[in-house]
């Protein structure tokens, strides 16, 4: 009796959340997740994503590409930074990141959107988090782990790798969408992936950025939004700019 092993039906190809093209609402709260599913950004119909009370320490920047995402709730995680482009999509109108104590910087795209950020920006020892950080006055924000360098007003010349990536992006931008154009042979795979999905886009001029960003902090307490957030003092909006020129001319309120 019993079925010989070799006759057991083979396992079906594993279903992947990225195959759910019609999915509009996903709630995966309270699951002890450390990361989000890798192909979540392929759920092109997703409008409401709720990942509250997990153990997420980062949000993949690919999520910023979800064209229909309207509400993103990530309260009660361990986020220390958000993707540079979060909120760049006009569809995304509601972002809740309450109770992420390490989170001190909100991308400036979120200004004028509905955000929840109470319980963010608790004072912590710098040694607790090994991330690049940027300080302005008494405020410090952590930058996404992928950012390799921070530019200041004095850094007029971009690093060579950044110049090369921006030039490649300009040259091949039209063909990037169906890009097998640059084979991994001519460009290392990691750089090819970065070329497809830059760190983010300049909050002033939309230039893609690959290794370096020029951040500028706008303390929430100094914006007209301060009243809504009841005196939160340690959270800032961060404008991520592409150059000294954009850094100097960016204004949150214009
Ligand atoms: Zn720029």
| Domain tally, the chain | 2
22 pLDDT more than 90: yes
- pLDDT tens digits for range 206-223: 999 999 999 999 998 888
- Among 95, 118, 141, the domain-final residue is 118
Instruction: Say what the pLDDT of residue 171 is.
Output: 85
What's the gap in Å between 3 CA and the centre of ligand 1? 65
CB 66 within 8 A of CB 43: yes
Say whether both 154 and 235 belong to one domain.
yes
Does residue 126 lie in a domain region? Answer: no
Does residue 142 lie in a domain region? Answer: no
What's the gap in Å between 132 CA and the centre of ligand 1? 21
SS3 204: coil
Q: Which of 85-99, 100-114, 124-138, 158-172 has the lowest mean pLDDT?
A: 124-138
Q: Rounded distance, CA 129 to CA 145, Å?
A: 11
Q: Which of 24-38, 78-92, 108-122, 128-142 has the lowest mean pLDDT?
A: 128-142
Strands in 212-219's sheet, in edge-to-edge order, are: 105-107, 236-241, 212-219, 149-150
- Mean pLDDT (whole number) for 157-172: 92
Domain membership of residue 90 as a residue range: 15-118
Does residue 25 lie in a domain region? Answer: yes
Q: How far from each other are the two terminal CA atoms of the chain, in whole angstroms? A: 77
Q: Rounded distance, CA 205 to CA 227, Å?
A: 29
Q: How confident is the model at residue 14 (pLDDT cuts 50, 70, 90)?
A: low
Q: What is the pTM of this model?
A: 0.83
Q: Rounded distance, CA 191 to CA 252, Å?
A: 31
What's the gap in Å between 237 CA and the centre of ligand 1? 17
What's the gap in Å between 240 CA and the centre of ligand 1? 9
Does residue 141 lie in a domain region? Answer: no
CATH of the domain at 100: 3.80.10.10
């Amino acid at each position: 009796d019993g079925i010989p092993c070799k006759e057991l039906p083979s396992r079906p190809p594993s279903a992947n959340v990225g195959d759910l093209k019609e999915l509009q609402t996903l709630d995966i709260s309270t699951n002890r997740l450390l990361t989000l599913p890798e192909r979540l950004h392929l759920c092109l119909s997703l409008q409401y994503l709720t990942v509250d009370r997990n153990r997420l320490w980062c949000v993949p920047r690919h999520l910023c590409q979800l064209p229909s995402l309207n509400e993103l709730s990530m309260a009660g995680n361990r986020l220390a930074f958000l993707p540079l482009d979060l909120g760049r999509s006009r569809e995304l109108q509601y972002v809740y990141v309450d109770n992420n104590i390490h989170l001190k910087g909100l991308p400036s795209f979120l200004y004028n959107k509905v955000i929840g950020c109470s319980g963010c920006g608790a004072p912590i020892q710098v040694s607790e988090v090994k991330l690049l950080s940027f300080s302005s006055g008494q405020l410090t924000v952590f930058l996404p782990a992928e950012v390799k360098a921070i530019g200041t007003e004095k850094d007029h010349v971009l690093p060579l790798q950044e110049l090369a990536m921006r030039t490649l992006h300009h040259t091949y931008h039209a063909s990037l969408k169906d890009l097998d154009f640059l084979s991994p042979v001519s460009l290392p795979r990691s750089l090819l992936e970065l070329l497809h999905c830059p760190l983010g886009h300049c909050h002033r001029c939309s230039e893609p950025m690959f290794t370096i960003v020029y951040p500028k902090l706008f303390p929430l307490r100094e914006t007209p939004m301060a009243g809504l957030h009841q005196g939160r003092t340690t959270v800032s909006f961060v404008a991520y700019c592409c150059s000294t020129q954009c850094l100097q001319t960016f204004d949150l309120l214009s």
